[in-house]
Every structure is written in C-alpha cells, then in structure tokens.
A = this chain, B = another copy of it.
Amino acid sequence: MTREESFMNEAIQMSQESVKNGGGPFGAVIVKNGKIIAKASNKVTQENDPTAHAEVTAIRSAAKKLNTFNLSGCEIYTSCEPCPMCLGAIYWARLDKIYFANTKADAKDIGFDDSFIYKEIELSVDKRSIPNIQIMRHEALKVFKEWGEKEDKIEY
C-alpha cells in the first residue's frame, strides 16, 4: 500500500464505521507533512447539521487544531468526490491537493444530490430550482465599501 493509499484507506474506514453507526457513508482525513491531523465522518443526521459532511467537518477540525483558517500545506483524502459545498470549503481552506475515491455519479446512484447541486450551480441565478431574489444591493454595498477602505482588516 502506498502512502496515499494508506491515508485513503483511513478515509474509507471512517465511511464504513459511519454506516455502522447510522451516519452517511462518507469519510475524510486531512494530512500535513505526512501525518493525519484530522479525521471525520459525515454527521448530518446524527448532529442535525446539514453542513456536517465529512470534508467540512475534517476542515473545521484541522483548522481548530492548527489554530488557523488557512490550511495550505495540507491534503485532503475523501472517500467520495466532494460535493459543491465541500469543494467550496476546500478552496476557502486553501488545501493543496484532493484525493477522492467514489465519484459524484456513484453518490447519485445511492440517492445523494451531489450531481443535482453541481448542475444547479452552473445555472444562472434566475434558472435555479430554489428561487433567488435580489433586494437592497445599494444598502449592502455601503458595507462592502467600508470593508474595502478598512486599513486593519484581516483578509482571507
């Protein structure tokens, strides 16, 4: 087993334990300098948190452990291709590399919405299945302007 396979094996084991414990069939680990710094399985139904996918949970755990919102220098191993929420989280966390096993099509085959959400995101705002309505941009832009002019801001 290669180094990468041993980390993925951990992620797959997390997914398997999750199924046994009543959670979704997904696991992820985050690795830095050749060591696992965070492991997580999907906790959506157990914690009543729709955002508690394995990748999001592992990112939150790794960031807490390293005391930073920037996880550059880290890799994620996930038992399934990340959904748009998790892929977005991976970009915001600045992870270096993604290893995945199952695909979004495999997830679709067992009843998960990943492929549907990918398709929705590619549509223009007015064509998505959830109605999107823009109001009060003028008022909200004032705050963006304030941020733009703030000198001591912490960028991320």
Contact = CB atoms under 8 A, between A and B. Distances in A.
A25 B144 contact: yes
Interface in A61-118: 63-64, 67-71, 79-81, 83-103, 106-107, 109-111, 113, 116-118
B50 A51 contact: no
Contacts of A136: 5, 8-9, 12, 101
Contacts of A146: 16, 19, 25
Nearest to A17: B143
11 contacts: A4-B133, A8-B135, A12-B143, A19-B146, A25-B144, A48-B69, A51-B56, A51-B59, A101-B135, A107-B144, A121-B122
